[in-house]
Structure 1
Amino acid sequence: MDITTLPVLATVLHAGAAVVTTLTDLLTPVVGPAGAALAVVVLTLAVRVALVPLAVLQVRAERDRRRLAPRIAELRRRAGRDSARFQRSLQELYASEHVSPLAGCLPVLAQAPVVSLLYTLFTHASIDGTVNTLLRATLAGIPLAQSAVAVVTSPLWVHGWLVLALLVVLAVAVECTRRSQLHWNPAPEADPTVPGAAAMTGAARWLPFVSVVFAALAPLAAALYLLTSALWTLAERAVLRRVLR
């Protein structure tokens, strides 16, 4: 059973398709065949502008964690190998200081439905019983419904330079954001006495690049969203961290 045929999801998909199609129709006279790709970029920017309040909460929480870093280090020293005690103390500290440890995840979680929507819009032949014309949209000869992996392993490989360039830019943006995060909020060194601590630290180093892997496997439309959003995040954090010191 295709869950996208359920009434609620079908309505959401239909509305999403209408938005992307309308933006495409408005932009095509200006940019030609790239209208659908630019529509995805415009949609991404609109979503990120709407999420600025969450980004502000994220940066404020980051600032608060930086302020509390010495106290957190002291809690870790007192707890020793008792990780449960440390977590309880940490939660109590956050509660007393009115700091939300989940604030940093809010912008990512809020964007997940939009990414899922774009993924679905560019992978389904029909939407709400009608032919999905978005599947015909292209960027430099590459269908927005094709993934980077599909492009480089098909006759479209001659256009592979474009999708590879997009992935490289995304990876650079992700790495710059990660380094900036470490600059403003240095991660504590892994405690060698805690089992699995080194593995968790290594996983945290590469976890941000999951988005790059997803972008390589998802339709180009979803990859464009991720790239635009990553560049926005990099610029937005740089501005907010200076404004909200």
Structure 2
Amino acid sequence: MSVFASLGTLLTTLADRLDPLFGASATAAAIVLFTLCVRAALHPLARAAARGEKARAALAPKIAELSRKHKNDPERLRRAMADLQAKEGASPLAGCLPTLVQLPVFFVMYHVFSTGSGAGDLLDHTLAGAPLDGRWGGAFAGQQGLVYLGLFALIAAVATWTYVRNRKAARDATAAPGARGATGAKGATGAKGTPSATAAPGVAGVARVLPLLSFGTLITAAVVPLAAGLYLATSTTWTAVERALLLRGR
């Protein structure tokens, strides 16, 4: 049995169990439940990523000192920061693991509802009248349009909340005494107040762009089948809540 058929069978089984509660939308509920199970299984990775993020924040004074010491040698600064992060177990890649591990699961979901491979009769199921294998047509009129409007509203709300939290965290990190202690008042932000001294070359630009990536989910949900959009909406909501709980009090 292929992985696509396995997912189709699993969703069918879950939908049958949920049918008494959700009726015609049981398959949509099964997708949400499946997504929650996937994210629960990945929670240990998220906890490890949160510990790594806290460890990197705690390294701010040492990073500031390295930035001052090697400010004229970007390559040596990069190596020194890599050595420091490896020594303290604060790998910057740890935070990407939950997302990377999810990609194959999302691809399988997308493939099943795009091609019908292993889907069985799942393609005949709907969410409040909107076909699970359908895509947004650019309009919000009618019952199907309202389903997509609700989906996009949820994703946009989560993305906005994530963006605001990330921007606030970045401002707090820049303003923290530990981030400036080794370089003075301008050491962490430079003359124009942009992060430069506490990060390796190029990291400041990436840090400004990363918060905007949360809105990429909204664009993706607009072009993938509704079933895959449900997976994205559920997963991003879980991520936002999970990070808020794991990083509280940082």
Gaps of at least 5 residues in structure 2 are 175-193
Q: 2:180 maps to what in 1?
A: none
**2:13 aligned with 1:22, yes or no?**
yes
Contact 2:127 2:147 in 1 (8 A): no
**2:109 aligned with 1:118, yes or no?**
yes
Kindly indicate which of the two structures has a greater share of residues assigned to helix: 1
Q: 1:53 maps to what in 2?
A: 44
User: 1:83-110 deviations in whole A, cap 9, x for unaligned?
Assistant: 3222111101011112222110011011
Q: 1:147 maps to what in 2?
A: 135
In 2, Cα distance between the equivalents of 1:81 and 1:162?
55
**So what's the TM-score if we normalise by structure 1?**
0.82
Q: 1:204 maps to what in 2?
A: 210
Gaps of at least 5 residues in structure 1 are 1-9
Q: How many residues align?
A: 227
**Deviating more after overlay: 198-207 vs 158-167:** 198-207
Change over 3 Å in CA distance of 1:38–1:53 after alignment to 2: same
User: 1:223-242 deviations in whole A, cap 9, x for unaligned?
Assistant: 11111111111221222224
Change over 3 Å in CA distance of 1:196–1:71 after alignment to 2: closer
**2:161 aligned with 1:170, yes or no?**
no
**Letter of the 2:23 counterpart:** G
Q: 1:108 maps to what in 2?
A: 99
Q: 2:221 maps to what in 1?
A: 215
Q: 1:5 maps to what in 2?
A: none
| Aligned-pair Cα RMSD in Å | 2.6
Displacement of 1:145 after TM fit?
A: 0.8
**So what's the TM-score if we normalise by structure 2?**
0.81
Higher relative contact order (CA 8 A, sep 6+): 2
Change over 3 Å in CA distance of 1:177–1:125 after alignment to 2: same
**Letter of the 1:121 counterpart:** V
Equivalent position SS for 2:115: coil
**2:237 aligned with 1:239, yes or no?**
no
Identity in percent: 40
